[in-house]
Amino acid sequence: MSILKVSLSKLSKMSDPNQEIKDLILALDKKLDGFDRKFETQIADLKSEVRLVKTELHAEIKLARAETQQAKTELQGEIALARAETQQAKTELQGEIALARAETQQAKTEVEGKIAEISGKIDGYGKRLDQQEFVSRGAVLALVVGVASGFIKYLFFTT
């Protein structure tokens, strides 16, 4: 704007209007060239900043992807380890269950054997009791017969 004022003041002082217009056009052309250079410089700076930011963002994205992949790999490893531990625990528990079943079966067999042995002893005791009862009855009967014969002998043969 100040150039126009200067140019207008010069225009009024000078006599050749064509020359003045040429001078004004040259001054405006220089000013516009200066603006063009400034704009081109600023646009180039902005483009380089955009490229730099774009490069940084791509690097951050790659880093984030790498970190995500690493975390995924670590978690998959932990999952595989947990599965292996679970399988190992399952195998161990199945072994313990089989051992407990074998021990239970062995104890059952031993108890059945002892029950059979005790049953045999009880049968033997029952037979002995039956025999002792028979003998006891015979002894009681012999005692009763002996007492009765003694009493009869006393009553009838004591004269």
- 11, 17 contact by CB (below 8 A): yes
pTM of the model: 0.44
Q: According to the model, what pLDDT value does residue 96 have?
A: 95
Per-residue pLDDT tens digits for 121-136: 888 888 888 888 888 8
Question: Which whole number is the average pLDDT over 98-119?
Answer: 93
Q: According to the model, what pLDDT value does residue 53 have?
A: 95
Q: What is the 3-state secondary structure (H, E, C) of the chain?
A: CHHHHHHHHHHHHCCCHHHHHHHHHHHHHHHHHHHHHHHHHHHHHHHHHHHHHHHHHHHHHHHHHHHHHHHHHHHHHHHHHHHHHHHHHHHHHHHHHHHHHHHHHHHHHHHHHHHHHHHHHHHHHHHHHHHHHHHHHHHHHHHHHHHHHHHHHHHHCCC
Q: According to the model, what pLDDT value does residue 133 have?
A: 84
Question: Which whole number is the average pLDDT over 90-115?
Answer: 95
Dihedrals φ, ψ of 14, to 5°? -85, 160
